[in-house]
Amino acid sequence: MAVEVRYHVIRNGKEVGMYTSKKEADEHDKMLDIAEKLFVFIGKAENVDIKEDSLDELTVYLSRNREEVIRILKNIKPKMPQAKAAASGIDDDKKAEDKPGKGKKK
């Protein structure tokens, strides 16, 4: 006989997720908590008329992508993926040559 442990995330009496690890369930629950707070915050905005379903989708999206949202709000440049940096042809030696006193000795 096999024993399986499952973690259920329940909101307002409805199951909204089922996970095999507590960590995943906790992360999903935290994401939903943040989305709920964003829903209330954005809902208070004057002169903004968003349908409830659209607002719900928007807040879940923002919550799932909160690290990028935080970088945007803090005006931090987005991280450039390694593949993109390599494709752009810019390498660390070239960057160093562009800075006075930091380039290779000739």
Asked whether residue 93 is domain-assigned, the answer is no
For residue 54, is pLDDT > 50? yes
Domain extent at residue 12: 7-79
Asked whether residue 89 is domain-assigned, the answer is no
Residue count of the chain = 106
Q: What is the mean pLDDT of the chain?
A: 83
Whether 9 contacts 35, CB under 8 Å: no
pLDDT computed for residue 12 by the predictor: 86
pTM comes to 0.64
Q: How many helices (H) and strands (E) does the chain have?
A: 5, 2
The tally of domains found in the chain comes to 1
